[in-house]
């Protein structure tokens, strides 16, 4: 992971700041994370050996409410990456008008190399290390890359053991039997689907005439591919970390998903097969998938997939960022010059944190909603903020990314300024 990831993430604000009326105090506040934690996590392995893993948690801002953000397990996890993700979460929560700030966490490891028992010990020990840093009113965890409902359940249970009381609201994305919400597992993909449905008709882009490529056939990428195919879009290519498959007439997404779900490792959590092995068609690399001549490209894997080095090769007309930070700021400029429309991560993938908010509300109230109620509330939230962001982009003649940051900055600025600004103290204003 590049050490400049946070610096690159911060550049997103440059184009937005000149369009907002925000105090210097608020801008100064948003330059730095509120708190960062780096912990060592000792784990007794199945063979009796001891390994120590590096874990992180960053609470970037909590002006609008407790921190909110996922925990990822990946070899490239670093403080720079986690801080960048927490930064993005700050603006994502403000953009969706959720009563949360931004946070993120992670552990540097390859989770596919650990057994189920080792993963459980790792997850519980991570909570032991950060328990004083999190809480239902302080910082709320959620699943992210290579974490899932089972892992979230372990984390919630461990926190409850430490606090000697049941604390379901400290973690979202839990199993339903432990206080999870209906629709949480599919929330990120559903939210992205609602954004795509709201945006493409504005360009008179009909489903039956639209080809789609999805990079990242994990939980989110697989669901969004399935949803789009059911809606009549032609999903012609998908890929995972091992490579991809392409068929010009469209893929059978349900059969690929079924194969991935059936062929799991003996450890029972992660798949071992590549999508390349699941269906006849032309195999291709992730780089080749990104450069396909399709209408819609959906990066749903990791950060920095489209950079200055390959942006000129992108042929898609529309890019919907389902992953966090898949397009760098340098690539944004190249894509804009090419006339490519990029719809930003802080809007497109915000369905996950929105339903996490719903789960947190349900945990606090003890009143639980049906799947239909969750999806209806999610659709209303995503469509409302998509419309408002689109209106800002049209009114100011700016990109959707800049419009999203303008929208979020306005909300963050109001919250930060409510605590007092330089003008308030210097001029003695009283309200």
Helix axes 351-365, 187-199, angle to 10 degrees: 130
b or e along 110-131 (b: 16 or more beta carbons within 10 Å of the residue's beta carbon)?
ebbebbeebbbbbbbbbbebbe
Q: Nearest CA to 377 among 399, 393, 394, 361?
A: 361
234-240 and 243-246 strand pairing = antiparallel
- 274-296 CB burial, b ≥16 within 10 A, e <16: bbbebeebebbebebbbbbebbb
From 129, 184, 191, 108, select the one nearest 152 (Cα to Cα): 184
Edge-to-edge strand order for the sheet containing 35-44? 35-44, 50-61, 101-108, 67-74, 139-143
Secondary structure letter of residue 200 according to DSSP: G
Token digits of residue 391:
């209106």
Dihedrals φ, ψ of 173, to 5°? 80, 20
- DSSP conformation class of 171: B
For helices 253-262 and 219-230, give the axis angle rounded to 10 degrees.
Answer: 150
The one catalytic residue in 34, 68, 92, 104 is 104
**CB of 25 closer than 8 Å to CB of 12:** no
Instruction: Report yes or no: 301 and 326 within 8 Å, Cβ to Cβ.
Output: yes
CA distance 277 to 204: 36
Three-state DSSP state, 3 = coil
Q: What is the rounded CA–CA span in Å between residue 265 and residue 109?
A: 17
**Residue 261: both structure tokens together:** 């779900």
Is 104 catalytic? The answer is yes
Reference 185, options 323, 345, 351, 324; nearest CA is 351
Report whether 411 contacts 94 (CB < 8 A): yes
Q: Using CA atoms, how far apart are residues 289 and 412, in angstroms rounded to an integer?
A: 37
- Torsion angle of the four alpha carbons 380, 384, 386, 387, in this order, in degrees rounded to the nearest 10: 130
Active site residues: 104
């Amino acid at each position: 992971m590049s050490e400049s990831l946070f610096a690159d993430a911060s550049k997103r604000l440059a184009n937005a700041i000149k369009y907002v009326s925000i105090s210097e105090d608020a801008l100064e506040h948003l330059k730095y994370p509120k708190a960062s934690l780096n912990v060592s996590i000792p784990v007794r392995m199945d063979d009796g050996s001891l390994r120590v893993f590096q874990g992180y948690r960053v609470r970037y801002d909590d002006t609008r409410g407790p921190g909110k953000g996922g925990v990822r397990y990946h070899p490239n996890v670093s403080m720079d990456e986690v801080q960048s993700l927490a930064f993005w979460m700050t603006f994502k929560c403000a953009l969706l008008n959720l009563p949360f700030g931004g946070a993120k966490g992670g552990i540097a490891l390859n989770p596919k190399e650990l057994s189920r028992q080792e993963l459980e010990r790792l997850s519980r020990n991570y909570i032991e290390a950060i328990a004083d840093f999190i809480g239902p009113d302080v910082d709320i965890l959620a699943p992210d890359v290579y974490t899932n409902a089972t892992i979230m359940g372990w984390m919630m249970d461990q926190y409850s053991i430490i606090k000697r009381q049941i604390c379901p609201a400290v973690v979202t994305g839990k199993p339903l039997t432990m206080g999870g919400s209906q629709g949480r597992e599919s929330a990120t993909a559903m939210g992205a689907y609602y954004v795509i449905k709201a945006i493409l008709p504005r360009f008179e882009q009909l489903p039956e005439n639209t080809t789609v490529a999805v990079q990242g056939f994990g939980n989110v990428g697989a669901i969004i591919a399935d949803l789009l195919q059911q809606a009549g879009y032609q999903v012609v290519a998908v890929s995972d970390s091992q490579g991809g498959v392409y068929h010009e007439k469209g893929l059978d997404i349900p059969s690929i998903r079924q194969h991935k779900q059936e062929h799991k490792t003996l450890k029972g959590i992660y798949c071992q097969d590549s999508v390349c092995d699941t269906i006849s068609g032309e195999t291709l690399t992730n780089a080749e998938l990104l450069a396909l001549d399709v209408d819609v490209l959906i990066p749903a894997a990791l950060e920095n997939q489209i950079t200055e080095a390959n942006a000129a090769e992108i042929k898609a007309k529309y890019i919907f960022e389902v992953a966090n930070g898949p397009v760098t700021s340098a690539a944004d400029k190249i894509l804009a010059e090419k006339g490519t429309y990029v719809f930003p991560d802080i809007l497109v993938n915000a369905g996950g944190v929105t339903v996490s908010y719903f789960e947190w509300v349900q945990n606090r109230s003890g009143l639980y909603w049906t799947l239909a109620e969750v999806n209806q509330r999610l659709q209303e939230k995503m469509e409302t903020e998509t419309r408002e962001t689109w209106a800002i982009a049209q009114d100011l003649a700016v990109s959707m990314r800049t419009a999203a940051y303008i929208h979020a900055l306005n909300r963050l600025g109001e919250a930060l300024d409510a605590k007092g600004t330089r003008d308030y103290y210097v001029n003695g204003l009283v309200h």
